[in-house]
Each structure stands twice: as structure tokens, then as C-alpha cells.
A and B are shown apart, each in its own frame.
Chain A
Amino acid sequence: MEKTKVIVGLGSCGIAAGGNKVFQQIKSLKEADNLDFILDKTSCIGMCFREPLVEVIDETGSYLYGEIDEKKAFEIINQHIVNQNPVKDYLVKSDLFPSEDEHFFAGQVKIALRDCGYINPERLEEYEARNGYQALKKITSEEVSKETVIQTILDSGLRGRGGGGFSTGMKWRFANKYKSDEKYVICNADEGDPGAFMDRSLLEGDPHAVIEGMIIAAYAIEATGGVIYCRAEYPLAIHRLNIALDQARKKGYLGKEIAGITGFNLDISVKEGAGAFVCGEETALMASVEGKRGMPTKRPPFPAEKGLWGKPTNINNVETYANVPWIINNGSAAYAAYGTEKSKGTKVFALTGKIKKGGLVEVPMGITIRDIIYKLGGGIANGKQFKAVQLGGPSGGCIPEHLIDTNIDYDSVNATGAIMGSGGMVVMDETTCMVDMARFFLDFTQKESCGKCTFCRIGTKRMLEILTRICDAKGEEGDIEKLEELAYQIKDSSLCGLGQTAPNPVLTTIRYFRNEYEAHIRDKKCPAKNCKPLLTYEVIPDKCTGCMVCARNCSVNAISGSRKEVHFIDQEKCIKCGICFTKCKFEAILVH
């Protein structure tokens, strides 16, 4: 009989939610009473909304407990481990009992995330036990030709998961075509989209899958060196990558004459990014690896011809590489069986914002946005109304409610004006102001513009100024048209993806929520009640108890009234900071 296992989810999210304390608590309970079970850790299980998670696997099956703190951990150890009586109240998923979260997993197909949450990412044996490095062994033991490997990836229909959506097989073929004594494979792990964490979870949860994908790419294009360019903001991912790389070197998956094949030499190193969104652009990324300012350069020449250090280079993103071993093991047809005609396989999404059950989901292409939000994510949080979903971060756009049945595939999403992007899916409800949202993204891209192209550098600045003005109740007639004109000029005249897509959030919000812009500009109102300068604060006489809390907190003494008398807000003096609304305990402040 196998020993009972207790596994704590320790990805960044789990740790932030208090996973380490739970782990320590279980560890001390185990040691104090000399309990006989295996305590281990894993990474992201995907159910971020139930973190911290603890899984117990005993002879009867698997029990996943959610929202566990030290006290609940104590109960689980006492009742489940000692008395063999599962604590049903805390169960979120189990083979034996139904749970309200089951639908979160129904409809998911885990290919890229196949091991996340199932293995301890710091142990190579656990990856190997789940078919790990089998794909590499398969192609090296049979010495499958490079062309066959490339053709398999091409046939699978895999497209770049970083957002571009370019065919991975084609990319490999180009890189294979250029001959050189030095060639590189690069993994783009500079996940800069605010609102996306798929790559972080993958690197933390299954680093070997990405590394194996890179080794297979290196085999196919005959690369001699590899680099993983990872955000410095992801310390845990970098830590686990370095552990995995060491293990792979010791096991001979990396090094000289890999699998005994003459000339197949490869080592991979981790480069820490220094914080620049533009480095997600492949030419800027390579400049950064070379130690320069991360500014994009003109293509052609494409990296496949002249990339890192001027040598042929293949760049793919984390999720793309993680798919590769699965495709080699299961065949291109198995992968292409999922998805639509032009978008094959699965896509990982980070589901966040005003949603009930936010987390990491992997779904087959072709699923509708509605199914992701309502079936998997359980709908909108706090009983609010769905308004829009943001796809593709600062390069993407907002998809409104009437397009919620749009299929998730590259072409359908592009048709809405948004982009698939790397997988950030931020759900917004009626309280989210779309003009403010556009301003938020422009503020981001304006700061992150590298400054090389005039239109991007100055144009985003001018757009931001207009948007800020609109949110500050100083919008003017003609602002919308000015925004549109600037947007098309920036799109047409920028060298790289950052500038070419920066206006998308503005264009899509104007397209679908023009009435909100008009309300801001003409009526000086914010329908979502978000932009403070556009709001009016008034006391509701019937509800005011005259407690004086609002008057005491008002920094400009705009509120008058004595104790136990109805208060009054002087609109001339009011700076609309909203403190009276937050401080009032009797809901006596009306905002409109």
C-alpha cells in the first residue's frame, strides 16, 4: 500500500495566500506526533480562487481542500490523516464527493498545463514519471530527421502562444534553413501583459516541460545555445528554472553530445529581464540579452536569419514550448483534433477581474467566451452585471456583451478588434469605466514606449493627455475624433508591435462604448460612477444621522451641519475626493 500523501500548492499565488504557513503548520504537526505520511509541495493547480490548496491522496482517492489556513490544516490532519475521516466542509474537488467547483475543471483540456499541480516541480523524477523527456528520447533514439520533427509541429497547427499567432513549425523551418556555426533557441518568458500570469504558473509548476520543448527545438534547428529570458519580477520561476536546468545537465539532457548524438551540444541559461515591456518584442528581447537598451530593430532580417549575436535564432514563448513534448509524444493529429480549422489545440487563459472563480484555465480553441466566463468561471462576482472582457492586455481590446458568444480562435478574436494575446482575460462589470480603462492602458504603453518611433513616443503621450482630460471632466467636442486619428497614425507608423497595437484599447472602447465617452464629454457624467471628478456627492436627508463623521473627514471643510442635524455638502467647495462616501456608516451619501 502506498503511503498517504499531503501536498500543499506552493506557486506564487498559493504562497501569497498563505500557503507557506499552512505547509509549516502541517510539517510541525507531522513531526510532533511522528505521523506517517509524505508531505510534499506542488505548484499552481489553477484554482487560484481557492488558494491556499491542500491535497490529500490516500488509498481511497484524492481529496482537494481549498481556502485552508493553519486552523483548518490542523483539522484536516487530525480528522483525515489521523482518523481517516475526510473533512467534507473544506473539499473543493474529490473523486468521491461532488463539489460546487467541479464545473471549473469540466471543459478544460490540459496539454500545456498537463503536469501543473500534479508534480513537485523541483524534482526531475516526478516529471519523468509523467512521460517527461520521453519526447526527447523518442526523437534522439530513433534519430528522427530534423525535417520530420519540424513537419510534426507544422502539422499540429501549433501557433505562437505569446500573442502573435505565427505558425511555430514555419518559424522552426526558417531557422533550420539558415546554416551557421552558432545558432540559438530563446524562450520568451518576459510576460509583461498586466493581467496575465500563464507563463509564470507554467515555469513555476513545470519548468522541465519548457526546457524539453526548447531542447527539441534546438535539435530541429541545430541550435548550439539556449536562453530563457525571464522577468526579474518572477523570482520563484527563476529559482525553479535554475534547479531544473541543473538537474537536466546532470542527467545529460543538456550538455555535450546529448543522447550520444555527435554534434548535438546544448546548454541553456536564464537571463533576468530588467523590467521593460517592450522586451517582449523579439528584436528588443535579443538586444536586451546582448546587454543593450531593449529597443526593437527593423525586420527583415528576421531572427531566423540574423538574431542573437547576429546568428540564426528561434524565439518562442513559454506556453508554445510546453506544448511541444506533448505533440511529439502524442502525434500532430492528436493535437490538431482540438480546436478550429485555423486555430488548433488549446490555449491557457488567466481568468481575473470581476469574476467569481478566477484562476488558470486551459481550454480547447473554439470555445466561446461565454462558456469560459459562465461555465468555468462561475459568472460575475458580487451579483453584478457583465460589461466587457479584456483580451490581450495593452495590445488588445475590450469585447462587449453582445459579442460574448465569440469563439476563442485567432481570427474570430481579431475580428472584434481585440487580439488573442498571451492569455490575459480580465472580466469587467458595470462598475468599470471604459474610458478609465482605455486611459489605464495608454498610461502603461506611454510609459513603456522605448522612444524610438516618433508616433509611438509622442502620439501615445497626446492620446493619454486627451483621455486624462476626459476623465477629469474637461473633455471637449471633437476629442473622440482626435483620439481616432492619432490611433490610426500610431498604428501605421510604428516599427514594432508595441506601437502598432497600443491604440487598440482606445479603438475598441470607442467602437463598443462610444456612449460612455460621450457621457463623459457632453454630460460630464461617468455612467460607471468611477471617475471622481465627474461625480456629484450629496447627503440623503432621510438617512443622515448627523454623526459628523463626514464633516470631520472632509479635507476642504465642504460639509456643514451640527450634531444630530442633517448635513450639507457645499458643491462649490467639494473636491470630489469621495472620502464622505467611504466614511459614512449609514449609506447617507448619494453619488451620481
Chain B
Amino acid sequence: MRVQRIAGSVPVADLTIPVVDLDLLLPVIAKYKGKKGNLIPLLQGTQNLYGFIPADAFEIISTHTGLKVTDMYGVATFYAQFRLSPVGKNIIKVCHGTACHVQSATAITEAVEEALGVKDGETTPDGIFTLESVACLGCCSLAPVMMIGEETYGKLTGKSAVQVIKEIKIRESVSR
């Protein structure tokens, strides 16, 4: 069932929950306040800002808009998109759609798990990567596929997937 996703997701071990600037949220609230059906866009807007939905954000949104925290929490735990804890800077989404499954997507996930030393759903201790499995990215003819940020990588092998990740790691260490 859908809520298991949240219950089963592993909290980030070595990342302390960062203190976020909740004032950043005010323009998002102002944009959607009073509009019909604004709950999901508000949560999406919040997540775009912080990468996850901090507990305090529910309270602030509730105070300003009158939406109930219980309703928001119900929605946030229903949809796969929402996260309640921080994630790594780069989210690696390995596609496990039908086409990718028959083209050995499992091998891709295993290779990435081995290279990063984390399991599916976890974040690396340095906070650079979070590894996720997703249902379908819609690039089936390039299967197996993974997506990092907005970039999609197709026709992968375990080796080439790890290569992509290494390159990002090098970029990250240079920019630090």
C-alpha cells in the first residue's frame, strides 16, 4: 500500500536535519493562498525550495492558509513525490519500468549500490547522492535508463552507470 513507501524509506543516517529559512516559503504561500486545489502545489513548491518538506513548513502553511496539517500530512505521505527528510544533492533515479526490468535494471541498481556503498532509498554519508528506484521514466526504448537531476542516461550497463556517477562525483569535488 502507498503509505508503506514512507514507513519503509530509510532516514538519512549521517545528515542532521538542516535548519531551513522558513521565510523563503512566504512567496510560495502568497502565490497559492486562497486558490482552489492549492494543497499539492503548495507542497510541491515547498519541496522545490528545500528538497524535502520540513515539519515546520506544515505549521507555517497551515497558519497562513487555514489548511489543516492533518490533510497536508495525509497528502504528503500518499504521493511518491513528497519527502519528509532531506536528500542528497543528486538524486539518482534508476528506472524499473517494464522495459527496463526486462533489460536488467536490477543489475544497474546493484552496480550503483556497490559503487556508492548505499542501498536503494538511501543517501551517501557525504550527502552527494540519493539512490532511488522509480516506476517509469518514459524512455523505454533506451532501456535500461536512469535519471540524475533533469539529465537522462540511456542504454546503460552497470559499468557505464557507475562511470556517470564517478564523473558527477569529480565535478562535485572540484566545485567544493
Contact = CB atoms under 8 A, between A and B. Distances in A.
Do A and B truly interact? yes
Nearest to A424: B98
Given A353-B99, A457-B1, A274 B135 contact: no
Interface string B36-60: 1111110110000000000000000
A13 B142 contact: yes
Contacts of A16: 139, 142, 145, 152-154
Contacts of A358: 99, 140-141
B142 A233 contact: no
B2 A449 contact: yes
Contacts of B43: 274
Interface stretch (A137-145, A288-296, A584-592): A288-296
A539 to B, nearest CB: 22
A274 B102 contact: no
B134 interface: yes
Interface string B110-133: 000000000000000000000000
Interface in A277-317: 277-278, 288-294, 309
A309 B2 CA distance: 25
A12 B74 CA distance: 32
B136 A13 contact: no
B78 A276 contact: yes
B1 A275 contact: no
Interface of A is mostly: mixed
B3 A451 contact: yes
Interface in A351-366: 351-354, 358-360
A390 B99 CA distance: 10
Contact of A293 (B74, B101, B140): B74
A278 to B, nearest CB: 8
A128 to B, nearest CB: 28
Contacts of A293: 74-75, 78
B165 interface: no
Nearest to A195: B98
Contacts of B136: 192-197, 233
B86 interface: no
Interface string A27-51: 0000000000000000000001101
Interface string A190-224: 01111111001000000000000000000000000
Nearest to A429: B102
Contact of A233 (B38, B137, B153): B137
A197 B150 contact: no
Given A194-B98, A444-B135, A350 B2 contact: no
Contacts of A195: 97-99, 136, 140
Nearest to A272: B44
Contacts, number: 152
Contacts of B155: 17
B75 A12 contact: no
A309 B36 contact: yes
Given A426-B102, A440-B101, A12 B139 contact: yes
A432 interface: yes
A274 B153 contact: no
A408 interface: no
A393 interface: yes
Q: How large is the interface on B (under 10, 10 to 19, 20 to 34, 35 or more residues)?
A: 35 or more
A591 to B, nearest CB: 15
A232 interface: yes
B5 interface: yes
B25 to A, nearest CB: 17
Q: How large is the interface on A (under 10, 10 to 19, 20 to 34, 35 or more residues)?
A: 35 or more
A533 to B, nearest CB: 14
B40 A197 contact: no
Contact of A192 (B4, B44, B96, B135): B135
Contacts of A291: 37-41, 75
Nearest to B71: A292
Interface in A421-466: 424, 426, 428, 432, 437, 440-441, 444, 446-451, 457, 461
Of B41, B75, B103, B141, the most chain A CB neighbours within 10 A belong to: B141
A87 interface: no
Contacts of B39: 291-292
A15 interface: yes
Nearest to B78: A293
A234 interface: yes
A168 to B, nearest CB: 24
B81 A15 contact: no
Given A195-B98, A293-B78, A432-B102, A450 B139 contact: no
B26 interface: no
Of B80, B143, B155, the most chain A CB neighbours within 10 A belong to: B80
Of A288, A309, A359, the most chain B CB neighbours within 10 A belong to: A288
Contact of B80 (A274, A288, A393, A446): A274
Nearest to B150: A235
Contact of A451 (B1, B145, B153): B1
Contacts of B80: 274-276
Contacts of B152: 12, 15-16
Interface string B73-84: 011001111100
B138 interface: yes
A277 B135 contact: yes
A16 B139 CA distance: 8
Interface in B65-111: 71, 74-75, 78-82, 96-103
B98 A390 contact: yes
Contacts of B138: 12, 191, 196-197, 200, 231, 233-234
Contacts of B137: 233
Interface string A212-250: 000000000000000000011111000000000000000
A197 B137 CA distance: 8
Of B37, B82, B143, the most chain A CB neighbours within 10 A belong to: B37
A451 B139 contact: no
Given A13-B141, A293-B75, A440-B98, 4 more contacts: A194-B99, A195-B136, A291-B39, A291-B40
19 contacts: A12-B139, A17-B142, A192-B135, A192-B136, A195-B140, A196-B140, A233-B137, A233-B138, A271-B37, A274-B44, A274-B81, A288-B40, A290-B37, A350-B140, A352-B98, A360-B141, A426-B99, A426-B102, A447-B2
